[in-house]
Amino acid sequence: MALPLANLATQIPVFNPSGTGGPSAIDLIKSLSEHKHLFRAIESQPKAGVYESFGEEWSLCLSYLESEVHRCAREASAFLDDKARGGGRGEMETELHDDLAQVMLPLFDFLEKHARGMHCSSRLARTPTPSTLFMNYFRAHLKAFDGNTRGPNGEDTTIYGPEGTPVPPRFRARDHDDLNPIEWLLIHRLMDPFIQLVCRPIRLLANRLIGKRRRSSDVDQKAVNATVISVIARMVVCMLASLSLAAAIGVLDNIGSQKNRIIVMTVFAQVIASSVQFLGQESTPMYLLIIS
C-alpha cells in the first residue's frame, strides 16, 4: 500500500544549513546587528580586529583540492595517451579541440584554486596572533551587552576565552602590533597598572562628580592612541641616548691614560651599539643624531 504524499514527506530528513549546534540565520542577523559597536571600535582601533585563521579548515580544503587535481591529471593523462595512440583519428578538428579543453581546463581550475588556497593559508599562518591587550579589548566589547552569548560571527563567545587568559592560537590579528621594544614595554607591562591605579579612579571620580552613571554597554577601553605611545617611546630613546653619551664623556674625562681611554671608548662603543639593537631599528637614526 502506497503511503500518502504527506506522510512520505515527513519521513524525509530536513537539511539544516546552519549545521549541528550552529547559529541559525536569525541568530547570525541578531549577532551582526548587536555587535555594531564592536565594528565601530575596530574601525578606530584596527589592532582590535580578532579573527579566526581556520587552519584545520584550510587543510581540509587543500586536501580536497589536491584530490581533485590528481583526478583531473589522471583523466588528462589517459585522454592524451588515448588520442596519441590513434584514438582521435577521424574526429573533426573542432570536436577534438573541445574534448581537449574539457579535460585540461578543469585541471587548470583546480590547480589555480589549490595555488590560491596555499597562498592564502600561508599568509594567514604567518600572521601574528593578537596581543593580550587588544584581545582583552575585543573580549570586553563582547561583554558590552548583558545576556548576549554569541560573538559577531554568531558563534558562542566562549571560543574567545575569558578576559585575562592567553590568546588561543586559532586567532589572528587583522592589524598586528608593529612595536619596538620600548613601545612593547609601555603597552604590555606599564599601561595596565597605570590605567588601574591612575586612570580608572580618576574616571570614576569624574563620573560621580558630574552624575554620570556607567551603562552596561560602556566598555572600559584600555587601548591608548598609538601616536601617544610612539612619542613616549621616542622620549625614552632620547633620554637613554643622552645618558649613554653623558656617561661615556664623564668616564673619559676622569681617565688620564691614553691607553685606558682607548679601551673605555671601545667598551662604550659596543654598549651603545648593543643598546641601539635592543631598542629597535627605528631608534638608530635618533641615536646617531644625538651622539654625533
pLDDT score recorded for residue 7? 42
Of 92, 126, 160, which marks where a domain is finished? Answer: 126
**Owning domain of residue 113:** 53-126
Question: How many domains does the chain contain in total?
Answer: 2
pLDDT score recorded for residue 179? 64
Q: Do the domain assignments include residue 26?
A: no
Model pTM score: 0.61
pLDDT score recorded for residue 188? 65
pLDDT score recorded for residue 260? 84
Q: Do the domain assignments include residue 273?
A: yes
Q: Which of 31-40, 146-155, 275-284 has the lowest mean pLDDT?
A: 275-284
Mean pLDDT of the chain: 78
Q: Do the domain assignments include residue 110?
A: yes
Of 62, 95, 126, which marks where a domain is finished? Answer: 126
| Confidence check: pLDDT of 45 > 70 | yes
CA distance 225 to 38: 17
| Confidence check: pLDDT of 277 > 90 | no
pLDDT tens across 216-242, in order?
444 454 445 556 666 777 788 888 888
Q: Do the domain assignments include residue 121?
A: yes
Q: Do the domain assignments include residue 10?
A: no
Q: Do the domain assignments include residue 243?
A: yes
pLDDT score recorded for residue 225? 56
| Confidence check: pLDDT of 264 > 80 | yes
pLDDT score recorded for residue 226? 57
| Confidence check: pLDDT of 144 > 80 | no
pLDDT tens across 91-139, in order?
677 888 888 999 999 999 999 999 999 999 999 888 888 877 778 888 8
Mean pLDDT on 195-222: 67
Of 126, 149, 180, which marks where a domain is finished? Answer: 126
pLDDT score recorded for residue 96? 86
Q: 3-state secondary structure string, the chain?
A: CCCCHHHHHHCCCCCCCCCCCCCCHHHHHHHHHHCHHHHHHHHHCHHHCEEECCHHHHHHHHHHHHHHHHHHHHHHHHHHHHHHHHHCCCCCHHHHHHHHHHHHHHHHHHHHHHHHHHHHHHHHHHCCCCCHHHHHHHHHHHCCCCCCCECCCCCEHHHHCCCCCCCCCCEEECCCCCCCHHHHHHHHHHHHHHHHHHHHHHHHHHHHHHCCCCCCCCCCCCCCCHHHHHHHHHHHHHHHHHHHHHHHHHHHHCCCCHHHHHHHHHHHHHHHHHHHHHCCCCHHHHHHHHHC
| Per-residue pLDDT band at 61 (split at 50, 70, 90) | very high
pLDDT score recorded for residue 37? 84
| Residue that wins the pLDDT comparison between 126 and 21 | 126
Q: Do the domain assignments include residue 149?
A: no
| Confidence check: pLDDT of 141 > 50 | yes
Percent of the chain whose pLDDT exceeds 70:
76
Q: Do the domain assignments include residue 117?
A: yes
| Confidence check: pLDDT of 10 > 60 | no
| Residue that wins the pLDDT comparison between 245 and 147 | 245
